[in-house]
Amino acid sequence: MRLGTVALTGAAGNIGTVARKALRDEAERLILLDRVPLRPEAANEEARTVDLRDAAAVEAALAGADQVVHLGGVPDEAPLPELLDVNVLGTHNVLEAARRTGIDRVVLASSNRVTGFHPVGHHTDPEDPVRPDGLYGVSKAAIEALGRLYADKFGLSVICLRIGSFEPAPTEPRHLATWLSPRDAIGFVRAALTAPPTVRFATAYAVSANTRRFWQVPDPAVLDYAPVDDAELHAPAIPGADHPADPTAPQAGPYALPEFTLRHLAP
């Protein structure tokens, strides 16, 4: 399916770089947005430098887009004011620009860290209550709530992808459950962009087909992509992979430790 004009925020980031290479072969036009300058690498690319906190700049940068893949933001634990300023306010600016300019679909990059305190032994579904493992997870729960609001109140089509551990290959025991390969990441993004217009709002875990995963893969009726990579193939090279996981431990692993957040709180 040929895509129309797709805007990609956070285009210079890890996932954005991979998504850019894939989507420029499928989109009629690809608008690249980031706070760092980018150069077009194909005839159908346009690069725009923008700060997501600037509502007017975001709206101007998204002009002419049919769909948005919103990957931009602070990617990990940080002080709450910074997360609210960039992740939450930035996402609001993207959604508001979409509403004002008539964009059909917004794909929001959420995170598995929204539910990090569910135990490893629990097979977590997007309908389960949020249990953020830190301030970053709180910010992602907030952007999901914003997406739901804009879908319910203004009729935008919003799909939130709870992204797993995006790595070229799994490197630690937790990744055996949480890994998201580059190939599967693109598969999920593509499926979110091409989901039927009747999908008004959805939240889905973007995770590879890991034998040990503890998240529910999406219903094909909502997001028609079946992941193909399995972290288990890499297990022999990962120290500690043969140790059984504690089913009562948080899915977030070390991200759930108090120390992970305490260093971002005022003394």
- Which pLDDT score, from 0 to 100, does residue 1 have? 63
For residue 5, the one-letter residue type is T
Q: Which of 136, 205, 225, 255 is catalytic?
A: 136
- Which pLDDT score, from 0 to 100, does residue 234 have? 98
Count of domains for the chain: 1
Cα torsion 211, 217, 219, 224: sign: negative
Specify whether 136 is catalytic. yes
111 within domain boundaries: yes
User: Count of CB atoms within 10 A of residue 105's CB?
Assistant: 21
pTM of the model: 0.97
- Classified as helix, coil or strand, 129 is coil
Distance of alpha carbon 231 from the chain centroid: 19
Show the domain range for 178.
Answer: 3-262
Identify the DSSP state of 133.
S
Query: pLDDT 10s per residue in the chain (267 long)?
Result: 679 999 999 999 999 999 999 999 999 999 999 999 999 999 999 999 999 999 999 999 999 999 999 999 999 999 999 999 999 999 999 999 999 999 989 999 999 999 999 999 999 999 999 999 999 999 999 999 999 999 999 999 999 999 999 999 999 999 999 999 999 999 999 999 999 999 999 999 999 999 999 999 999 988 999 999 999 999 999 999 999 999 999 999 999 999 999 999 987
| Cβ contacts of 266 within 8 Å, gap of 6 or more | none
Phi then psi dihedrals of residue 3, to 5 deg: -85, 155
- Classified as helix, coil or strand, 124 is strand
For residue 23, the one-letter residue type is L
75 within domain boundaries: yes
Residue 110: give its domain's CATH number.
Answer: 3.40.50.720
Phi then psi dihedrals of residue 258, to 5 deg: -55, -40
- Which pLDDT score, from 0 to 100, does residue 267 have? 79
42 within domain boundaries: yes
CB 108 within 8 A of CB 121: no
139 within domain boundaries: yes
